[in-house]
Amino acid sequence: MARTNGQRPATGSEAHDHVFGVDQNVDLDILLREASSYLPKANIDLITRAFHFCVDAHKKDVRASGEPYYTHPLQVALIVCKEIPLDDVSVVAALLHDVVEDTEYSLKDIQEEFGSEVAEIVDGATKITDIFKSREITQAETYRKLLLSMVSDVRVILIKFADRLHNMRTIDVLSTERQERLARETMEIYAPFAHRFGLGNIKWELEDLSFKTLNRQAYDELKRELNTSREDREAFIRKFSAPIEAKLTEHNIRFEVNGRPKHLYSIYKKMVTQGKRLDELYDLFAIRIILDTNDNNDCFLAYGIVSEIYTPVPERFKNYISIPKKNGYQSLHTTVISADGKRVEVQIRTRAMHDFAERGVAAHFRYKEQTGASATWIDSTDLEEWANWVRDVFENAGEQAHEQLMESFKLNLYQDEIYIFTPKGELRILPKGATPLDFAFEIHSQVGARCIGAKVNGKIVPLDHKLNTGDQVEILTSRNQTPNRDWERIVITHKAKNHIRRILNEERRARVVEGREAWEKRAKKLDLHVNDDDLERIVTSLKYDSRSDFFAAIGSGTLTVETASTMVLEKLSRTSAAELPPPTPYTFTEFQDSARDRSEGVYIVGDNIPSAKIMFSYARCCNPVPGDDVVGIVTIGSGIKVHRTSCHNVEELKEKVKARMVELKWNRQRKGEFMAGIKVTGDDRPGMLNEITSAVISVDNTNIRGVNIDAYDSLFEGLITIYVTDVDHLSRIFDKLRKIKGIKTVERFEG
């Protein structure tokens, strides 16, 4: 049976033409008629009592338009009846959703009169309203509480969608400032949430109404252009659909074919992003085929029929039936070339899929057979995934900055999705633009934390590689790997960002504890007494933001405890000598003599006391390790800076700093780990990265700090940062690496 360009028979047309607020009895009759039509098992008595309660509670209230206030909750209840059909409890809660907020009645009154289920939904709706009244929408708390309320009962959010939809339909009576705030809030929050719930029609109408308010000129121009060409488009769709309908009828398939409406805001977005005029957009022509069948295979049969009649565009085929979208949406999408050479988008789905596309999560709601008023959720993996996503976002929100949380929610709500596979063929859905690091954290937080690289479709790729739908990703891990600050820039998913920040914060706290303990031990050894306030002032003058940052620097090794104590002593001595005459200039010879008395780890050649204490630090440009030939350069603030004699900085500055150079040797009793970099190049082949990391770790259980690999053509180039005890340790790692098949060069990295 074919119905072209038609819809299901409409009911309740009186409601569309009726002016509400003129006669309460007529208003109630329309509500009950709609409830009976769309919710056959609705408790009519319950709805009737709620209507009268609503009218009485709001009898003193008037809307900005001058209408009795009860007409607003009534319209919200009608939307819940017809456009997001839920259950009678939802209709009752919609009628009462503003009672607690705007009238003298309390939540307890609602509970006593209509039960705890209705009261809980009304309470949730009231809390969301309070949030939006008291806060700017850019604040993260808004999103968090919005999500929290959804977890408690999804009907709260569905009623808020209906509430916002009616407010947007009647927005013209508000002031310009309130219109813009409401429209922006709708575009930022409600439309994306409606999309996630699969409420396509609600989302599109919210976007169009917001677009109309925020950019009226563009809205009117586009609407005028579309109206001008409407008859031609409708004639084209009729001509295009005719042979498809004939073939479907031949196969005894019951169906409905209609022109799929294109929404103004989505057209406008495409015109802006693609830089095209309206007549250049090919997908203004679109039809939807809805099959009255329970067999999903009929959709593929219909696709075959369409493809026989018109030439399909292969890259425009999307199978959302086998792999539904994250919000549960299912359909076949294809684009074909018409006899006139125009591209036409065709969507094919069953009636059940269409109902879900129109009503989203609400389509999962049904009545228990035993009772007329209670409702439950159909067992659904889609719904379970939804609940898990919501809880994950809320529970992992932590105390992030508002901007960060706002950004991650926008990404999660708005971005297109890509479909990625594990090596075992398991499917993972990520936002477009996701990287292997996002994928690793999607698998498990520990997999993400220990990720040192990835292979996409068998090829090694850098961690910031952008994944595409269909990629198969294998994550390579090392138990010695830990996240670094650069990872926050690489990942885009909320889950990955949150885990990285948590791990980095935990590591920093550990470094602070280690640094504090080392400092206190050193201070005790030197009989140095500094209270917290004085130490805070001193470290601030040394350019540290706080004592925590100072201790973290000691704990991480970027500042030695010997250097730290010398700097603090120097600051204290300057403070106590502030009233004394200025000292004589501090000559290099005097500094050198002083340094001989403070040596540790390396010592100045000619000094007969190898263990004498010296204020020194290791240059990051060449990362010297025990066994390297080294030279010292006297600096201001860092004592003697230790360089390798082959360091390019030393070579370039040799003449300029000659007077400040001292010859150094390593103290053989020195123990510890030193950072070194290894540059490796070779053939890009399966298993190469795993062999490299295994070879490094096999030498004295070497700790790998980080791995950065870039591959191009059939070659790769990588930098491995490790901790070694001396140059002999490093040499043995070099030997191991050179024995790996396909390795071309292994050399010390300087940079």
CA atoms of 532 and 128, how far apart (whole Å): 45
Q: List the structure tokens of 250.
A: 């031949």
Q: Enumerate residues 6+ apart whose C-beta is below 8 A from 8.
A: none
Dihedral angle of Cα 166, 167, 171, 176, to the nearest 10 degrees = -170
**Would you call 27 a catalytic residue per the annotation?**
no
Backbone dihedral angles phi then psi of residue 663, each to the nearest 5 degrees:
-80, 135
CA of residue 469 relative to chain centroid, distance: 18
The closest alpha carbon to 200, from 328, 16, 366, belongs to 328
Asked whether 8 and 259 are in contact (CB, 8 A), the reply is no
Q: How far apart are the first and last CA of the chain?
A: 74
The closest alpha carbon to 160, from 181, 129, 138, 114, belongs to 129
Beta strands in 295-415 (DSSP E): 311-312, 318-319, 332-337, 343-350, 365-367, 375-377
Q: Is 454 left (phi over 0), alpha (psi -120 to 50) or beta?
A: beta
CA atoms of 202 and 190, how far apart (whole Å): 9
- Lookup result for tokens 């396909």: 742
- Lookup result for tokens 């952008």: 466
Asked whether 100 and 134 are in contact (CB, 8 A), the reply is no
Secondary structure (DSSP) of 468-526: -TT-BEEEEE-TT----THHHHH--SHHHHHHHHHHHHHHHHHHHHHHHHHHHHHHHHT
**Would you call 207 a catalytic residue per the annotation?**
no
Name the percent of the chain in helix, strand, coil, to the closest 5: 50, 15, 30
CA atoms of 345 and 284, how far apart (whole Å): 8
Q: Enumerate residues 6+ apart whose C-beta is below 8 A from 151.
A: 387, 390, 391, 394
Strand partners, 628: 626
Asked whether 137 and 185 are in contact (CB, 8 A), the reply is yes
In a 13 Å sphere around the CA of 401, the CA atoms on its Cβ side amount to 5
389 CB neighbour count, 10 Å cutoff: 17
Q: Enumerate residues 6+ apart whose C-beta is below 8 A from 620.
A: none
The closest alpha carbon to 673, from 393, 480, 439, belongs to 480
Q: Enumerate residues 6+ apart whose C-beta is below 8 A from 100.
A: 106, 107, 110, 122, 123, 126
CA atoms of 589 and 17, how far apart (whole Å): 99
Q: Please identify which of the residues 102, 507, 514, 607 carries the catalytic annotation.
A: 102
Pairing of strands 661-666, 616-618: unpaired
CA atoms of 102 and 608, how far apart (whole Å): 87
CA atoms of 673 and 684, how far apart (whole Å): 31
Q: List the structure tokens of 96.
A: 């009462």
Beta strands in 423-477 (DSSP E): 427-431, 451-456, 459-461, 473-477
Asked whether 582 and 573 are in contact (CB, 8 A), the reply is no
Q: Please identify which of the residues 101, 220, 295, 747 carries the catalytic annotation.
A: 101
Catalytic residue annotation: 101-102
